[in-house]
Every structure is written in C-alpha cells, then in structure tokens.
Chains A and B, each alone.
Chain A
Amino acid sequence: MDPVQAPGVYQGVANVIAAVMLLLEFGLLRQALARDQVRLYMAQSALISVLAIVIAADRNLPDLYALAALSAALKVVAVPLVMRRLLGRTDPDEGEEAPGVAGSQTLSPASAVLAGIVLAAFGFFCFGALGIHGSAAPVLALALAGAMMLVAFLLMIVRRDVASQAIGFFTLENSVSLAALVVAAGLPLILETAFLFDLLVAVVVFGMLIRTHHARAESLSTADLTRLRG
C-alpha cells in the first residue's frame, strides 16, 4: 500500500484558497445586505488573483501575473465600484439598505445554508469522482469549484432581488474562473483577457438592467416579475 503523501506547497495553497472561496460563497448565501454581499464578492475575487499568482510562481507561467493583475483590477475594484454606485443610486437615504434586498430570501438563512451544504457535497463528490487531474490540476480544488458553482446557482435561486441575483451570477463566474485556473492555467493570455473583457461588458449590462428595473419597480425586488407566463 502506498503511504499517504502530504500535498506539495502549491497544491496545499490552491486547495486552501478554493476552500475559503467556498466558505465565502456560503457567507454570500447567508448575508442579507447587498453591500456586505459586494464585500464578500471582493474578498472572493481577491483570492482568485492570489491563486493566479501562486500558480504563476509555482509553474513558471509569467502570463498569469498579468492575468492576476487584470482580474484584480476588474473584479476587486471595477465590479464592486459599479455595484456600490448602483446600490447607492437606488438608495434614497445614504446609509440605508436599498429597498427590496433585505428580506428577499425565499428560504430562511438556516434552510438556505442546509440546502447549500447538500448541494456543495453533491458537487464536491461529483467533480471529485470525475478523476480529472493533470500536472496542474489538484483534484480537490476542482471539486471545490464544482461545489461553489452549485451554491452560486442556489444563491441566484433563493433570492428575490436583482442585486443578489447579479452577485450570484458574478460569483458563479468566479467559480468557473477557479476551475479554469486549476484545469486550464496554460490557456493563452489573449483568450483569458478576452474573457475578462467580456465579463466587464456583462457587468455593465447587468448594471443597466438593474437600473431599468429599479426605475420601473422602485425596488430591487423581483417578486413582481410575474407578468410573463405560459
């Protein structure tokens, strides 16, 4: 029988970062205030950049340093800025929560977290069982990315406000970025940059539609979006 081997430094760091990102996703699921959700998203995005730097150093992929910087500029600075301004603009009294976000949970926080744990376990074991691993891919980090993805979907499902749904989508994108970093670290920089640019465009469009929605409904709640059926 082979002795159990401790993971190398790179693998250990990658796994820890992935695990913390998943925990932050649970924090997002629990968090009732949109501003705090944006903060958690910032932290999660910063971890993605750290992971990119770790992989760049470990595997000698200088492209990834540039990617880490671009990713940080976009996801840690630009996206939260856009979201904050948007939430600020929709908020009549500075300092108060935008209407329609607080209390938008369809499940109680405890039930939502329980459902999240079940989904995360399902995703973790499914992705883990795939046995996808290359020189660059710690199986555990990929499985955690899978778990995070399902929790992000859950976040979008259990919230009835456009801000949380948008942040749910952005964290879904973070989980795909995590999977991409562990599985496809060598992807040419030009394509990675294009993906990020595309995210920027998506953020702007999400922002415009949130504003449109807020202007019409005077709330961020999606509870009234029930006109179109059948």
Chain B
Amino acid sequence: MLGVILALLIVPLTASLAAALLPGSAKVGPVVTGTSGVASFGLVLVLVPAAAHHDLDYLSYLRVDALSAIFLLATGFLYAVVGIYSIGYIRHHGHGDRYARRFYAGFNLFAWAMLAAPMMSSLALVWIAVEITTVVSALLVAIEDTDGAAEAAWKYVLIASAGLSLGLLATVFAYFAGAQVLGEHYNLAIQPLIAAGPRLPATPVRLAFLLALLGYGTKVGLFPVHTWLPDAHSEAPTPVSALLSGSLLAVSLYAILRYYQFTAAALGSGFPRDALLAFGVASLLLAALYLFGQRDIKRLLAYSSIEHMGILAIGVSFGAPVALAGVMLHVLSHAAAKGNAFMGAGVFTVKYGTKQISNMRGVLDLLPWSGPLFLLAIFALSAMPPSGIFRSEFQIVAGGLDSGNYAAAAVLVVLVTVAFFGLTTASTRVLFTRAPRSLSAAAVGPSDRGEPSAWMVIPAVAGVAALFLLGLHPPAELTALISRAVTELGAAR
C-alpha cells in the first residue's frame, strides 16, 4: 500500500506542475486535472478496504487509518467530480489562458494539500499541510481579480493564518506534553501520544486541545471565528468554493479530531466533548439564523456549511458510537451534497451572469438537468430521505438521545429545522418562481433553455448517485471503515 499512498501524494502534485509549466495550459489543464482527480479517487478507493481492517504505517511520517481514510474519501471524491466540473466551468468562464493556467495549477495543488493532511502521522505535518491549503486557496480566492475577491482573499489569509498560529501553538504544547512522557526526540506522531494517554500532563493537553479547537476551528468555520468563510466561499471561483466547503472544512475538522483523540485518552472525553458542544451549538445557531435573508446564492451555501460543521461538532460531542458513526457518514454525505449544491449554483451563475438570488428566476424551466439536481442537493442538505445526510443526522440525534444529551439533541433538531426553512425558502424562490417578463427580457429568456455544458452536469449526477448510495445502502467496506473509525475515536476514551 506504500505505493498507493506515495502515488496519492505524487499524482495531484504532478498535475499541478504540468498545468503550470506545460505550454498550452488551456488544453493541458483540463486533461491533467480531470485525469488526476479520477486517478486520485481511484487510489483512495484502493486504500479503503485495507484501512478498514488495519492501520497503514510507512516511513515513520506517513500513516493512513480508518479515520484518515474517511476524510481522504471525501476529498478524493470531490476532487474527481469538481475536477471534471471545472473543465466546463473554466471553458464558459472565459478569462483566457493565463487565468486557466493559474486556476488549474492552484486547484490541483489545493487538492494535493488536502489529500496530504490526513496521511501525515505527525501533528506538525498535519499543521503544515493545513497551512498550505490556506495559502493556496487564498490565492485561488483572489484569482477572480475583482474588488470583492481581493477583499475576501485578504480577510481569509489574515484570519485563517492568525487562527493557524494558534494551531501551531497547540502543536507546540502537544509536543511539550508528549516529550514529558516520550522523551525529547519525540516527533509529534499521533499514535504514541494516544497510547501515552493518562500519563500525559493535564494542563498542556487541555491547553493544546483548546488552542487547536480555536485555531483549526477558524478553518472549520466554527463561531465566532467563521467570519472569513462566507466571503471566501462567495468570491472564489465556484469549483474552488465546492472544494473549500465540502473538503477543506472537513480536513480542518480532521485535525481537531486528532487532538480530540489524545485529549480524551489523557483527560477523559468529558472536557473535549463539552468544548465541542459549545462551539457546535453556537455555530449552528448563527448559521440557522443567517440562512434567512441571504441575497447571494453562494453565501447562502456558505452559511449552510457553517451549519453542517456545527452539526458535526455536536455529533462528536455526543460521544456515543452511533453518533460518531453518524459524524463519519455526515462528512462523506456533506461533501457530496455541498459539492453538488455549489456545482448547481455555479451553473446558475454562468447562466444568469449573477450570484444574486433575486436575479435568478425560473431555473427549473431553463435548466432541465441542473435545476432538478440542485433541488435534490438542497433536499439532501436539509436532511431529507433517502439522502446520506438524512441517515447521518438521524444517527447523530439517536446518539444524542442514547448518551443522555436530551437537551442538546432537542436543540439540534430545532436549529436544523430552522436552517431547513432558511435554505429551502431561498432555493425554491430561485427554482420555482417564474421569471418576470422584464427580467427575462433583460437577462435570460425562455429561449435560453438548455445547459451551458455537459461537463457541468455529469459530475452532479455522480454526486446524487453517491448521496443515494450513502443513504440507502452504504457498501459493506464503507460500513466496516466507519465502524473502525468510530472505534479509533471512541477507543481513546
């Protein structure tokens, strides 16, 4: 399996270099990006059965276990579908060769950093990979070269980097805690830290967890350090927004889960669970309220991402095995659903030439594929059956009741319902309201019926298929992987 892991590190990096350096980037970029995305997803699929049964440890700095495989799967899937989608998107976006070269080089590098983070065995390397995702994605946010993009990119890089400085401090305290037990030459590997468990000194561990929660939480989009997120998601090119939302936030959560593991091993799970619950409920509350009255379709989806990250934090805080299984499934389902929603929103923005919800009307009439696919994605994000998110949220709530967190489970159900109203009100307005004559004459009329590009539809069909698969009948290997990941998360307690 070492070959597969190394290939997973090399393929996207090579694609990025090829897109940046080879002549004819407008032709080379789409080919290498699509190929690299699909190949990377294939490589992740090869890893899954192995990771479902044993840990894969190589070269002292590479490690894939079930928990990391879940996040690899989410990122690998999105990289493949969004990579293909971006072929159509960039073609219709039409900013010339230089733009295409920068976009494809950055896009592949961004995916590479997100795939690398879960494969690192050392907390220090996880931090470095997450920091690389920040700097690369900040440049991708700025690539549009508009006033809004420049503002969003600056806020993003400043806030996320400051947050990650706290993440670095968390890494330092984690090292200090580990070095007390494992000696000075300890390399911040995660497993020895978990194994050292109760022998670790309490204060540095507690401090490391809180700093990690706040630091990496900045990138997860947890309240009150979420402020960069709606700006960056709305101003980035849509394929980047999809990766930011479905994958980057999850990868940052992965880092927090690693801290959760050894903190729970050292101090018991009560303290980290309480902290996660507080951040989770606050984020969910904020997002549920802000989903009302959004005027920009991508900002709407960005707040929905904050909502789902809140749900994940609350799910982990419940601690019951069924809730943790729900969290793992939610990471995968959210990646597929949010990827689809952003891809749909990207088609709308190409079609209507605006991100403003008030200027998009009658989508179902004009876009025979993207309209219904977007509707399915919104239903999935609202946890309608039979999508994977229905199953995962059901498990999380069941886990909350199971672990005796009745009040938190009730709050979760209420806030998710509020968010559902916010999300569906805006979306149905876009989908079902007929365009007024004045608007259709000015912008897009009934004669414009049709999809901009098949490249932008096929990936969304794959996303819906994945959502149904996760909701109706998750494959046996995936169930085994989730069970093992739950054991890894829960075993630390």
Contacts and interface: CB of A to CB of B under 8 A. Distances in A.
B148 A228 contact: yes
Contact of B180 (A130, A134, A212): A134
A201 B132 contact: yes
B209 to A, nearest CB: 14
B158 A156 contact: yes
Given A184-B175, A201-B132, A228-B231, A209 B151 contact: no
B176 A194 contact: no
A186 B184 contact: yes
A165 to B, nearest CB: 6
Q: Which has the most chain A C-beta neighbours within 10 Å: B147, B184, B299?
A: B184
B255 interface: no
Contacts of A206: 157, 161
A183 B172 contact: yes
B204 A225 contact: no
B184 A202 contact: no
B479 interface: no
Contact of A228 (B151, B172, B176, B204): B151
Contacts of A186: 179, 184-186
Contacts of B131: 198, 201-202
B352 interface: no
A209 B134 CA distance: 13
A191 B154 contact: no
B333 interface: no
Give the interface size class of chain B: 35 or more
B175 A187 contact: yes
Contacts of A217: 150
A230 interface: yes
Interface in B147-189: 147-148, 150-155, 157-158, 161-162, 165, 168-169, 172-173, 175-176, 179-180, 184-188
Contacts of B185: 186, 188
A202 B207 CA distance: 25
A153 B162 CA distance: 8
A153 B161 CA distance: 12
Nearest to A188: B187
Contacts of B207: 130, 132
Interface of A: 130-132, 134, 137, 149, 153, 156, 162, 165-166, 169, 172-173, 176, 179-180, 183-184, 186-188, 191, 194-195, 198, 201-202, 205-206, 208-209, 212-213, 216-217, 222, 225, 227-228, 230
Given A172-B162, A205-B139, A227-B148, 6 more contacts: A134-B176, A137-B176, A179-B169, A180-B172, A195-B128, A202-B135
27 contacts: A130-B203, A131-B203, A132-B203, A134-B176, A134-B180, A137-B176, A172-B162, A176-B165, A176-B168, A180-B168, A183-B175, A183-B176, A184-B175, A186-B179, A187-B175, A191-B122, A191-B124, A191-B125, A194-B125, A202-B161, A208-B139, A209-B142, A216-B147, A227-B148, A228-B148, A230-B290, A230-B293
